[in-house]
Amino acid sequence: MKDFKNKVVFITGGASGAGFGQAQIFSEAGAKVVIADVRDDHLATVKKYFDDKGAPAHVIKLDVTDRKGWAAAAEETEKTFGVPDVLVLTAGVNVFGPAEATTFDDYDWVMGVCLGGVINGLVTFVPKMIKAGGQRHIGATVSYGAFVAGATTAPYTAAKVAVLSLLESYWIALKPYNIGVTALCPANINSNIWDSALKTRPKELSNTGYNVTDKGQNFLASIHKNGMDPRVLANWLKEAIEEEQFLCLPYKHAEAMVRSEHQRWIDYTTPGGQKLVDIRPTLPKSKLDGEIMMEREGTSMMDAPPPVEGQEAPPVAFGNFDTGGFAMANANVDFVKEEKKYKA
């Protein structure tokens, strides 16, 4: 799809961060945008933004985990602008802590939004998009996290790996219908996701095993401040849709990144290789490693000096910083090792 003029672009999570960037860029390319989001404060901001511009945009309050809400949002969208030409599934949340401390609520909330929200969007809109005919596209904001193992990111990583796999299935399945699919896999974005655990998480799903406090979330905010500008990211998505590209890692070093992240799967296939998985992170980093880290995170790891070829690697992430207990367990989780718990 090369031309977005008068196209209908439906974006979940479109009222903040990556989704708002996407709404702006597609609107500027001439599209009519539908912004579906659960947060009233975010929706009010974007409504004002598009009203002030006089651009065709429609906001819908939608919790992507609510299937009845999806049916109603689809009906409202069709009545307002028509069946989406482009569906962008971006809504997401995050919260981090030791895998072993994860509660049912942690899984249900993170996977409900990040995976369930994508499934609900696909099941709601794919039949309508097929029936409407013509050239169409589905994009989803996955994450670079889909390629990276993490001891403190279990629900988030599991959701993102699953979304990437789902999208590949749909990419293959939807080719005969002239519907393209793009999996956008950014690393750090300058967004508001850091406040989701305290402000977006529903009360009925708030029994967490993780330390979730203002201090820890503010540390997370300081990481996201270095992230990619959402408008820059949205341009990567737009170009990927124009080129019918399935996988979009929005980085110059995309190929090297995927190659190095997947090396661990090759290593795991033999006992000797498996040892390398533990050793590799302790090895000196190359100049390319440093460039990749800067591209991904917008910083060479929490303001530690950038890695230099031939010199010892800098301390591992967070090693020298007061993280406010970010990604640690709740102090009251009685089975987790003491060093993994946050004691303020």
Ligand X SMILES: NC(=O)c1ccc[n+]([C@@H]2O[C@H](COP(=O)([O-])OP(=O)(O)OC[C@H]3O[C@@H](n4cnc5c(N)ncnc54)[C@H](O)[C@@H]3O)[C@@H](O)[C@H]2O)c1
Show which residues are catalytic. Answer: 156
Q: In this complex, which beta carbon is closest to ligand X, that of residue 192 or of residue 299? A: 192
Question: Cβ of residue 24: shortest distance to ligand X, in angstroms?
Answer: 13
Type of residue found at 321: F
Residues facing 35 on adjacent strands: 11, 59
- Min separation Cβ 202 and ligand X, Å: 8
Q: Is 196 left (phi over 0), alpha (psi -120 to 50) or beta?
A: alpha
Q: What SS3 state is found at 328?
A: coil
Tokens 């409900």, residue? 112
Nearer to ligand X, 2 or 68 (CB): 68
Give the phi and the psi of residue 249 in degrees, each rounded to 5. Answer: -95, 115
Please say which residue, 107 or 177, places its beta carbon nearer to ligand X: 107
Residue identified by tokens 């008068």 is: 6
Look at strands 136-141 and 179-184 and give their pairing.
parallel
How far apart (Å, rounded) are the C-alpha atoms in residues 112 and 307?
A: 38
Q: Give the Cα separation of 38 and 68 in Å (integer).
A: 14
Shortest spacing between CB 53 and ligand X, in angstroms: 19
Give least dist CB 140 to ligand X, A: 8
Least Å distance, CB 13 to ligand X, is 3
CA atoms within 13 Å, Cβ hemisphere of 48: 6
Q: Please, which residue, 77 or 191, has the CB nearer to ligand X?
A: 191
Residues in touch with ligand X (CB under 6 A): 12-13, 15-19, 37-39, 42, 62-65, 90-94, 113-114, 117, 141, 143, 186-189, 191-193, 196, 200, 224, 227
CA dihedral angle for residue 158, residue 160, residue 166, residue 167, rounded to 10 degrees = -170
Closest to ligand X by CB, 232 vs 308, is 232
